Amino acid sequence: MTTERRRRLHLNAFLMEAGHHEAAWRLPDSNPRADFDLQHWIKLARLAEDAKFDSLFLADGPAVIGTGEFRPPGQLEPLTLLTALSQATSRIGLIATVSSTYNEPYNLARRLASVDHVSGGRAGWNIVTSAGADEAANFGLTDRPAHAERYARADEFLRIAKALWDSWESEAVLADKAAGRYADPGRLHRLDHKGRYFSVAGPLNVERPPQGHPLLVQAGSSEDGREFAARHAEAIFTAHRTYERAADFYADIKARARAAGRDPDGVVVLPGIVPYIGSTEAEARAIAQELDELRVPAYGLRQLAAVFETEPSVFDLDAPLPGFILARPKLEGSQSRSDLIIELAEREQLTVRQVISRIGGGRGHFELVGTPDQVADAVTAWFEGGAADGFNIMAPALPSGLETFIEEVLPILRAKGLFREDYQGTTLREHYGLPIPANQFHHAAG
């Protein structure tokens, strides 16, 4: 008899206003103000939960996106939104991006611990260091801190956050009414941390979260990002356009986790997929084309310029990417995404116009235009071939793209025995098969 547990696919519903495609808000059925409509988010969260997704995810950045002219530029603060969604759902994991560059560890550890408490152990933190230039100006800075500096700060941030979540041992609360003793002070731990970026005394003023620590997710696949992920991340969001690149990344991350003394199975790798699904290939192409025709090229150019830290005027729409970009200058913002775009342009010999069309649907993530079987086959091939432990499902239009994925693709994955029929646990960690971390202070009180 074999005791080996079958490897199960993990699915995260990466939600974004009216959809991931930059023109999704212009579709006839779309709600262009979806961002600020709580009912829109509740509908999406319940859709994903009814389909037994491991989690949903809200991206974020503390600045308006671009000028706001061509795409909804703002969004609700995601931990506030997750708190509302936690009361409209009961099982699905709830992950949000919060920047380690523009927050302080004490405040953020407290907010995340609070979301974990009010959601009954379903909170996850996508740790980003914030690649954008616009964000810095909202925090008293003239430019973003350098790439390596941001990751160094993130590392210290994480060490403090983990210690704060551990600062209440599980036996700390006595609530002994007869003796009049509420807590055992010996089990509430100070950090007295004094480091390069932060000084934090502790303990946290919130009990240890139900999951020990909220699930720690990371998105940033540069060299610095990978090293950071190997040390701290339990799930990794990443973007790859081909199976080969995804498989290389997967092997590299698992090796780095092992080298950092961690169990590689404790690091769940989730590349993104942007599926345009039609009952025939022609129908799928028509869905993609409708969105493509609604794009405003000026928006794509600005986004491209932002990634390469330059001006839109350096691009000629009908020429290849300029030579100075193909020479891969050292960028302080988003290193893995800029590499991905250059690689895509070179591999397929694209003009700038074609590049911005290709990244308009999912900012560079793997796009697949096809039938439910073709989407399920690709998901299966990446999962079984060792390129993914699961996927970020990034519907180009919402809710329609998520509904189609659930109705048409999930049954195929279930028939293959790859995806759960029902939840087995109640916490986000349980869905991903990840343990509650040991409390670093536990030995201190004996």
Ligand X SMILES: Cc1cc2nc3c(=O)[nH]c(=O)nc-3n(C[C@H](O)[C@H](O)[C@H](O)COP(=O)(O)O)c2cc1C
Question: Judged by CB, which is closer to ligand X: 21, or 337?
Answer: 337
Stretch that binds ligand X, among 65-73, 128-136, 283-291, 411-419 (CB under 6 A): 128-136
How many other C-beta atoms are found inside a 10 Å radius of the C-beta of residue 173? 15
Distance CA(386)–CA(300), nearest Å, equals: 33
- Determine which residue in the list 55, 75, 89, 130 makes contact with ligand X, applying CB under 6 A: 130
Binding-site string for ligand X from residue 258 to residue 287, where x marks contact by CB under 6 A and - marks none:
--------------x---------------
Among 131, 235, 359, 393, binds ligand X (CB under 6 A): 131
d(CA 151, CA 101): 9
Quote the least distance from Cβ 173 to ligand X, whole Å. Answer: 35
Q: Rule CB under 6 A: choose which of 392, 404, 427, 439 binds ligand X.
A: 392
Residues 97-126 interacting with ligand X (rule: CB under 6 A): 97
Residue among 93, 202, 203, 225 that touches ligand X (CB under 6 A): 225
Q: Crossing angle for the helix pair 147-166 and 105-118, nearest 10 degrees?
A: 50
> What is d(CA 102, CA 230) in angstroms, rounded to the nearest whole number?
22
| Segment interacting with ligand X (CB under 6 A) among 19-27, 234-242, 348-356, 429-437 | 234-242
Is residue 164 a contact point for ligand X (CB under 6 A)?
no
Q: Which is nearer to ligand X, 97 or 119 (CB)?
A: 97
Q: For the chain, how far is it from start to end, CA to CA, in angstroms?
A: 41
Q: What is the DSSP letter of 409?
A: I
CB of 443 to ligand X, least distance (A): 35
* Residue 70 to residues 32, 228, 300, 333, 400, Cα–Cα distance (Å): 11, 34, 9, 22, 22
Taking alpha carbons only, the member of 120, 118, 408, 139 closest to residue 284 is 408
Residue (128 or 304) nearer to ligand X, CB: 128
Assess 12 for contact with ligand X (CB under 6 A): no
Please state, in angstroms and rounded to a whole number, the distance separating the CA atoms of residues 188 and 315.
57
Q: Provide, rounded to whole angstroms, the least separation between the CB of residue 193 and ligand X.
A: 25
CB of 196 to ligand X, least distance (A): 20
Q: Which is nearer to ligand X, 220 or 361 (CB)?
A: 220
Query: Are the CB atoms for 80 and 45 separated by under 8 Å?
Result: no
What is the rounded distance in angstroms from the CA atom of residue 435 to the CA atom of residue 234?
10
Both tokens of 109, joined, read 């550890």
Per CB under 6 A, the list member of 21, 153, 256, 337 interacting with ligand X is: 337
E strand spans, 291-349: none
> Exposed/middle/buried for 22, CB within 10 Å: 0-12, 13-18, 19+?
buried
Contact 19, 398 (CB under 8 A): yes
The two structure tokens encoding residue 160: 């403090």
Of residues 61 and 322, the one with the C-beta less far from ligand X: 61
Is there a contact between 100 and 158 (Cβ–Cβ < 8 Å)?
Answer: yes
Is 221 a binding residue for ligand X by CB under 6 A? The answer is yes
Q: Which of residues 181-220 bind ligand X (CB under 6 A)?
A: 219-220
Considering the complex, state which of residue 213 and residue 337 has its C-beta at the smaller distance from ligand X.
337
State the nearest-atom distance from the C-beta of 205 to ligand X, in Å. Answer: 27
Handedness of CA 114, 118, 123, 126 (dihedral sign): negative
Window 31 to 90, contacts with ligand X (CB under 6 A): 59-61
In whole angstroms, how close is the CB of 359 to ligand X at the nearest point?
Answer: 13
If the CB atoms of residues 95 and 406 are measured against ligand X, the closer one turns out to be 95
The CA-based angle 279-285-290, given to 5 degrees, is 115
Q: How many residues bind ligand X (CB under 6 A)?
A: 22
- Distance of closest approach, residue 337 Cβ to ligand X, in angstroms: 5
Label residue 349 exposed, middle or buried (CB < 10 Å: 0-12, 13-18, 19+).
Answer: exposed
Give the H/E segment covering residue 43: helix 38-50
* Residue where the block lists tokens 């931990």: 79
Query: Which residue stretch of 167-175, 329-337, 368-376, 422-430 sits at the interface with ligand X (rule: CB under 6 A)?
Result: 329-337
Residue whose entry in the numeric block shows the structure tokens 């979301």:
115
Complex with ligand X: residue 191 or 325, whichever CB lies closer: 325
Cβ proximity to ligand X: between 217 and 410 the closer is: 217
Residue from 13, 79, 112, 239 in contact with ligand X (CB under 6 A)? 239
Asked if 238 touches ligand X (CB under 6 A), the answer is yes
In the complex, which residues of this chain contact ligand X (CB under 6 A)? 59-61, 97, 128, 130-131, 219-222, 224-225, 237-239, 272, 334-337, 392
